[in-house]
């Protein structure tokens, strides 16, 4: 497995790493085998999150005695100093380590949130302290908002950024190029568009063909998936592969939510992109209980949609959002 430099961290990471979301639907025994297979295949990058229920703990147990083989990353949605300080210690305990290579601010959506994080009592202060005391090595940030990351990229203090990129979500290319020029590592989430692209081999090849990414992190929940992903190599596309990419783009273009948030706000208060994210966790990731729980915590459900169509006009992809929300209602029952 080829290695690439992860920005200013100076760490060399495999082009393909483990995304930790689907670890939640597997078992400790399987995760132990996954970790061994990652080592066999030369994959040395793991990304998980405080929010992925048992993912940190399963990985931590499986990494006992093998921690030094990996660049280990996790992340927290904490926005305040106290909450982030607490979360860093929980992550260290779950991961059974005294050192996390990269700790990321998870899913910062807006400048307002960013100002909160960077304020005197914000989460960033706790990350700086953890770095100074040797609990973490570097600080990263993840987001689904291209607008937000473009606003901060010129003067950002982060070692890495994490953002979606795949065959049908290519808008971040100039952001990534800028990041690489600034020696900021680029971690690609959603390389299979949250499971919407079924041919993982072509999807990953598309990403590692780009020289402006550091590592792509497909979710992997079995040894077989690790083996399949590890066979991917960069290179020219065959005619069949080009045809597949064209078909995928045509099929998903008018149906796939890119989580950009341009359709917001909805007058009914519905968090439209989150509805589709939880729908994907439910049926493409198979994380049924987790998706139900997170959907259930939303303030307004898809069933509140009154089909005013205001969102459709704002969606750059012209998605029929009210129709798609009906499917969300069918899945979650509200």
Residues that bind ligand SF4 (CB under 6 A): 257-263, 266-268, 270, 272-273, 305-311, 315, 317, 319, 321-322, 325
Residue closer to ligand SF4, measured from CB, 93 or 309: 309
Asked whether the beta carbons of 91 and 76 are under 8 A apart, the reply is yes
Nearer to ligand SF4 by Cβ, of 102 and 263: the residue is 263
- Quick one: 157 or 267, whose CB is closer to ligand SF4? 267
SS3 163: strand
At its nearest, how many Å lie between ligand SF4 and the CB of residue 24?
24
Beta strands in the chain (DSSP E): 3-5, 12-14, 18-19, 45-47, 71-76, 100-105, 136-142, 160-164, 185-189, 215-216
Q: Count of residues for the chain?
A: 334
Identity of the residue, 221 or 311, whose beta carbon is nearer to ligand SF4 in the bound complex:
311
We find the least distance from the C-beta atom of residue 265 to ligand SF4, in angstroms, to be: 8
SS3 291: helix
In the complex, what is the shortest distance from the CB of residue 151 to ligand SF4, in angstroms, rounded to a whole number? 18
Query: Among candidates 144, 82, 87, which has minimal Cα distance to 110?
Result: 144
Report in angstroms how near the CB of residue 179 gets to ligand SF4 at its nearest. 22
Of 114, 116, 120, which Cα lies nearest the Cα of 150?
A: 114
Give the nearer residue to ligand SF4 in terms of CB position, either 235 or 267. 267
3-state class (DSSP) for residue 141: strand
Q: Report the nearest approach of ligand SF4 to the CB of residue 227 (Å).
A: 33
Whose Cβ is closer to ligand SF4: residue 34's or residue 175's? 175
> 3-state class of 94 per DSSP?
helix
* Least spacing, CB of residue 321 vs ligand SF4, in Å: 5
* Tokens coding 237: 């596309």
């Amino acid at each position: 497995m080829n290695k690439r430099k992860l920005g200013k961290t100076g760490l060399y990471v495999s082009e393909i790493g483990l995304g930790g979301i689907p670890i939640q639907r597997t078992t400790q025994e399987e995760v132990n085998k996954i970790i061994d297979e990652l080592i066999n295949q030369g994959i040395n990058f793991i990304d998980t999150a405080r929010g992925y229920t048992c993912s940190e703990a399963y990985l931590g147990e499986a990494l006992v005695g093998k921690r030094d083989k990996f660049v280990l990353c996790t992340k927290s949605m904490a926005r305040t100093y106290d909450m982030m300080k607490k979360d860093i210690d929980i992550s260290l305990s779950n991961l059974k380590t005294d050192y996390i290579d990269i700790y990321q601010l998870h899913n910062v959506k807006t400048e307002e949130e960013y100002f909160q994080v960077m304020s005197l009592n914000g989460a960033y202060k706790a990350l700086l302290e953890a770095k100074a005391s040797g609990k973490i090595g570097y600080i990263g940030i993840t987001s689904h908002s291209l607008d937000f990351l473009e606003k901060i990229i010129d003067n950002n203090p982060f070692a890495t950024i994490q953002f979606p990129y795949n065959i049908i979500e290519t808008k971040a290319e100039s952001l990534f190029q800028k990041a690489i020029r600034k020696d900021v590592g680029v971690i690609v989430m959603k390389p299979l568009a949250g499971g919407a692209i079924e041919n993982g081999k072509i999807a990953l090849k598309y990403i590692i063909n780009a020289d402006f990414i550091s590592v792509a992190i497909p979710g992997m929940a079995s040894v077989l998936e690790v083996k399949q992903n590890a066979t991917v190599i960069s290179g020219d596309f065959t005619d069949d592969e080009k045809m597949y990419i064209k078909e995928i783009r045509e099929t998903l273009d008018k149906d796939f939510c890119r989580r950009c948030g341009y359709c917001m706000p909805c007058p009914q208060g519905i968090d439209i992109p989150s509805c589709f994210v939880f729908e994907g966790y439910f049926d493409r990731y198979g994380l049924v209980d987790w998706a139900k729980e997170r959907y259930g915590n939303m303030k307004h459900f898809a069933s509140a949609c009154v089909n005013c169509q205001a969102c459709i006009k704002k969606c750059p992809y012209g998605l029929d959002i009210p129709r798609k929300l009906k499917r969300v209602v069918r899945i979650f029952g509200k």
